[in-house]
Amino acid sequence: MKVIFGADDTNECVTTVAAYLEANFETRIVDLTSWPELSEAVARGVADGEYRFGVLMCWTGTGTAISANKVPGVRAALAWEPWIARNARLWNDANVLTMSLKRTAPDVAVDCLKAFFAVDGPDPEEVPQIDKIRGR
């Protein structure tokens, strides 16, 4: 599975996330440090269908989520613990996961990735709701 990842800064959490993604998926790392440009590149990679999922990190995780969600077809969700990450997939069919690189411990970030990628697809009960925002 192809995943596209980018962070606008680096630290132990970012390198841990990158290493996890590279070990488990065919991963492209986007080398941009402006969070709006980085987010757009990752979001377009997902919206265009080249990558199944995107992962973004910035200081807060909020700017990248807001920016990625400007691209039609992208459903970016900010997660800070695994329950949020899992249910962003299950209940929102999130296709981009964002996290704060400043406020997420590396092991928690990996747990979020595991939870996010463990979900095969959206809960069928939620599909009618998700369909209302698909393509927006």
Ligand X SMILES: O=C(CO)[C@H](O)[C@H](O)COP(=O)(O)O
Strand 2-7, strand 26-29: pairing: parallel
Length of the chain: 136
Adjacent-strand bridge partners of 28: 4
Q: Is 58 a catalytic residue?
A: yes
Given 3, 46, 57, 58, the catalytic residue:
58
On whether the CB atoms of residues 36 and 129 are closer than 8 A, the answer is no
Question: Mask 20-39, x = binds ligand X (CB under 6 A)?
Answer: ---------------x----
Q: How far is the CB of 60 from ligand X (least distance, A)?
A: 4
Under rule CB under 6 A, which residues in 56-85 are in contact with ligand X? 58-60, 62-63
Residue with tokens 């929102």: 92
Q: How far is the CB of 74 from ligand X (least distance, A)?
A: 16
Catalytic residues: 58
